[in-house]
Amino acid sequence: MNRRHFLLQSAALLAAGSATPLLAAPAWKENSSLPDLSTFGLEGTLPKLKGKVVYLDFWASWCAPCKASFPVINGWHQKLAKRGFLVLGVNVDETDAAMQAFLKKTPVAFPVVRDAAQKLVAAANVSTMPTSFIIDKEGVIRKVHTGFRDKDADELLAKINALLG
């Protein structure tokens, strides 16, 4: 192996290593359609989303802002259900036990499914936890929201109300 070959090979190896993060799926964007969730092998019962404004929330038991967001989004779910609004929680915990323990401490009225294989969250390629998607009645993503702080609530609720019409 001569020097040039050696250098080229090393450069190729390093490039291959550093390129790995670039191979991830592109994140879900605003104005794109929500894929069919039933194809991702989610644990739990998926509610009917068609014709509803949906707040799709990716959460985990170890994520503190997720916990802070739960009472707020649960309130929206209960208050706006009659107008065709639904919160769908997608849990990405490694174990079902971790999710159940969290839900026992923080009970919610909205449906929760578990992305045990983390296939859906990988497809969405979220940049932070929690990340939520507001989906309109036609199944189009209208807002992507990352993280959760109390001051975000008003803006999100305004968006939901606008979509509910």
Partner 1 sequence: MKTLRLLLGLCLALSACSCSTVKPWQRGHLADYIMRTARDPLTDSISEHVWFTRESFAGGRGVGGGGCGCN
Q: Which residues bind partner 1 (CB under 8 A)?
A: 1, 6, 9-10, 13-14, 16-18, 20-21, 24, 58, 60-66, 92-94, 98, 118, 121-122, 126-131, 147-149
In whole angstroms, the minimum distance from the beta carbon of 67 to partner 1 comes to 10
In whole angstroms, the minimum distance from the beta carbon of 162 to partner 1 comes to 25
- Shorter beta-carbon distance to partner 1: residue 19 or 82: 19
- Shorter beta-carbon distance to partner 1: residue 82 or 151: 151
In whole angstroms, the minimum distance from the beta carbon of 116 to partner 1 comes to 12
Residues 6+ apart with CB under 8 A from 67: 102, 106
- Shorter beta-carbon distance to partner 1: residue 67 or 137: 67
Residues 73-80: contacts with CB under 8 Å, at least 24 apart:
73/110, 73/132, 74/108, 74/109, 74/110, 76/157, 76/160, 77/108, 77/109, 77/110, 78/109, 80/160, 80/164
Q: What are the distances in angstroms from CA 26 to CA 29, 81, 91, 125?
A: 9, 32, 20, 7
- Shorter beta-carbon distance to partner 1: residue 99 or 163: 99
In whole angstroms, the minimum distance from the beta carbon of 97 to partner 1 comes to 12
